[in-house]
Structure formats: C-alpha cells, structure tokens
Amino acid sequence: MENKKKEASIVKKMILAVAGGFIIGFVCLFLREFLNGNGNEGVWDVIEAIFFQDITATQGIEGLGIFYIIGQLFMRGLQMAIVPLVITSLIRALCSLANPEQLGRIAGKTFITYCGFYVVAAALAGAGAYFVKSMGWFDVNLPGEMATEAVTMEGYNPLVTVVNAVPSNIFAAFSTNNTILSVVVVAIVMGLCITAMGEQADPLKKVIDNLNDVVQMFLNFLINKIAPVAIFCMITRTLAVYGVEYIGPTMVWIVTTIVVSLVLVATIYPAGIFLVTGLNPVPFLKKSFKIGLFAAATNSSAATLPLNTKTCTEELGCSGEISSFVLPTGMTINMNGTTAMHMIAITFIGTAAGIDVTPATLATAAFLSICTAVGTPAIPVAGTTMVYVVMSGLGMSSELCMIGYSLVLAMNYLPGMAVITLNVIGDAAANVIVNFKEGVLDKDIYNK
C-alpha cells in the first residue's frame, strides 16, 4: 500500500513537472520573442544568463545558468550509475535465471519463449520507428547555432561491433559510458561463471547484491527527489532557448510508442500462441484484456502479478506450479515493451539531434536494449532511464541528444501505460505456451 502511494506521488510530481515546464517554458518563449521584437534584447540576455546559460560554453563567468546546472547534475548522476547498474542488475538476472533449482525444461522453454518475443518486438518496433523517421515526422528544424553540433554516425562494418564487444581491458571498459556493449558482455560472462561456480561464489553474489542495492537506492533518490525538479528545468530551458521545434516530434514519439505497443499486443502474442500451440488466440486476447488494463492503470508489473496469476490459472488453464515460476521470472526479465519503446525513442532522439539512424544502428540498439531490458531493475521509470544506456552504446552523447532524452524521460507516462501492457500480457502469453509445451494446459478451461 505504501509503495502504491509512493508510485502515485512520483507520477503526480512528474506530471506537475512536465506541465510546469511547458507552461513556464512557453511563457519564456513568448517573453523572448516579445523582448527581442521590441528592441529589448539586453533584458532577455540577462534572463538567459541567469537561468539558461550553458556555462561550459562561456569564457569566464558570463552567467549563472541555474536551470542548466540542475539539468546537468541530474544527467550526470544518471551517467554515474550506468556502468554499475548494468553490471549488477544483469549479473543478478542471469544468476536468478540460471539458478540450479530453476534449470531444466521449464526454465529453458521460458527463456526461449521470452527471447523469441524480444526479437520480434524489437524488429517490428524498429521497422515502425524507421518508417516514421523516413516520413520525416521525427525531423527537427534545428536552430542555426545548434546545427553545427549535429553529429553523424560514420558508416562501418557491423561485424566490428562483435570484435569491440569483447574488451581487451575490463577496467578500461568500465571507465566510460561509451563502451556499454563491452560492459554487457562482461556482465554476461561474470553471471554465467558465478552460476557455474555454485555455492563457491556465494560471497561474490552477496557483494553484487549489496552493490545493486546501493545503486538502486541512489537511483530511487535521483528519480524520486531530483527528477521532477530537473525535468521541469530541462523542459523550461529547452523551450526558452530552442523554441517549439521539439514539441511536434515529441508528440509523434508518444503516439508512435502507444500505437506500436498496442499493435504488438494484438499481433505478436496471438500469433505466437497460434503458431506454437495451434490454439485459437481469441480466448487469450479476451481474457488477458483485463490484465493489460490493470497494468496500465497501476503502471506496475508487480502490482499486476496477482491478477495475472489468477487469470492464467483460473481462466487460461495454466498450471499453478509452472505459473509460479514463469510469471515472476517474466516480471523480472521479460520487458518486450521496454525494448519496443527503446527502439522508437532511439530513432526519435537520434533523428531530432541530426543523426542518420540507419537499420544497422537499429540492429545494434536492439541488441543493447534486449540485454539491458533483461536486467532492468524495479525502479520508477526504469525502462526510460535505461534508454541512456542504449544511447551511450551508440555514441549519442551530444547536447542535442540530451535534449531529446530529457523530453523522452519527461513525457514517458502515457507511453509507459502502453509499454507495461505489452510487458505483462507477454508474461501471460509465454505462460500459456510453456504450459502447452509441458502438456499441462487445460484446453477446456482455456477455450471456455
């Protein structure tokens, strides 16, 4: 109950921050145009120097840049936690999945099913995002002074990514956020080795668990206490300095994420059930509708777990024993919606920042997203926070990219409702498939 109140409080703060940022931002935008249009540029220059100045681009003390400083401190706090977050959360996820007691047919089939849904969701979401990008709906008319900051991703042989994924020096990989793919590989290797060592590695597991708790506590503080203020400052500054160029593309990102998520819910899960089991997917869609609705309303996969379990066992004919493994595991590692959202967000952020996002870029983003989504921790707006991990792996670190990311982070609530629906219904679909393959699905209950 207390957690639900906290989540509601966080959501309210985020909504207020976004609303306040747009209101004050538009006021500043109109004020800027009014002052500049009446020959009072000096007054606006003072306001900009106090609140919005990029202090890293000045010689000496030319302004305070209060909003810039707050936004940068928040972003740097997120950056500081990225490497330890990926390492600890991914290792823990692998250790949990490969726990000796959970190994065997059920765990294997569960993992394969989730991986299949991951790949299909990433491919379809990437295709949808690329279509929107090709139509020019993510394009931003960059201000002249900012256009020079737009970067391009040089053409390269995608196989180079495979070589660079294995670092020659672990500590070098950990020293920068631009080698996240290497960090992911190191985390996977460590997780598998720790699992193979069994009880011998228990002390190291405890250290990793404790480090993960520290990182999550820091991120909880950052998201709960700092994020609303930082988001308010970043949106206000974006509108005041760069104008309305980003508003249209941001709305397109929101609509695209919601539409793609709902289309995936209505297609890949029914298709997966039909192709693997031969069952009629219509009963699944009808009975799982309330699961998705509840998840969207609460915006919590954990809160939806009891209803998901009840629906699977009482209405979809799944075994309680298998459901007790598949559904909690899915709540932890099955984040198809998060990956779909990442694909769309990366395309939006890159395109808005003047980067040519190619299919090869999206393929790399899909791999990074799936790896990070598997280890996404249970913190507020975790999936959106992890967009930065994918951005880092792709080298999207310019200020223009940060502006796009701040908008994605700030405007995530409505898309998040569709994303979490995709996640939890995916858990139910995988549960039906695993139960069928194990020969324990009650088809009479399923078809009733």
CA distance 55 to 68: 8
Distances (CA, A) of 171 to 46, 80, 175: 45, 15, 6
Count CB-CB contacts under 10 A for residue 155.
9
pLDDT for 297 equals 67
**Tokens at residue 325, please?**
């493994």
**How far, in Å, CA of 87 to CA of 175, rounded?**
13
**What does DSSP assign to residue 243?**
G
Q: For residues 117 and 433, is the Cβ–Cβ distance under 8 A? A: no
Give the per-residue pLDDT at 378: 45
Phi and psi based region of residue 104 (left: phi greater than 0; alpha: psi -120 to 50; beta: remaining):
left
Tokens 């256009």: give the residue. Answer: 147
pTM: 0.71
What pLDDT is recorded for position 147? Answer: 44
- Domains in the chain (CATH in brackets) are 85-214+245-447 (1.10.3860.10)
Length of the chain as a residue count: 448
Helices within 278-319 (DSSP H only): 281-298, 301-314
| Helix boundaries (H) for 198-246 | 202-221, 227-237
Give the whole-angstrom CA distance, residue 96 versus residue 138: 39
Look up residue 61 and give its two tokens.
Answer: 């003390």
User: Residue 350 contacts by C-beta under 8 Å, 6 or more apart in sequence?
Assistant: 153, 356, 357, 361, 394, 396, 401, 404
Q: Report pLDDT for 432.
A: 95
d(CA 351, CA 141): 11
pLDDT at 429: 95
Q: Specify the pLDDT at position 138.
A: 85
pLDDT of residue 176: 72
pLDDT along the chain (448 residues), means of 10: 55 77 85 78 82 74 82 82 77 64 70 91 94 86 48 47 77 75 80 83 89 83 81 81 71 90 94 93 91 76 79 90 80 84 92 87 89 62 75 82 79 81 92 91 90
* Amino acid occupying residue 308: N
Angle between helices 202-221 and 66-97 (to 10 degrees): 150
> In whole angstroms, what is the distance from residue 71 CA to residue 442 CA?
54
Distance between terminal CA atoms of the chain?
Answer: 34
Phi/psi zone of residue 439: left (φ > 0), alpha (ψ -120 to 50 degrees), beta? left
Which helix (H) or strand (E) segment is 113 a member of? helix 105-134
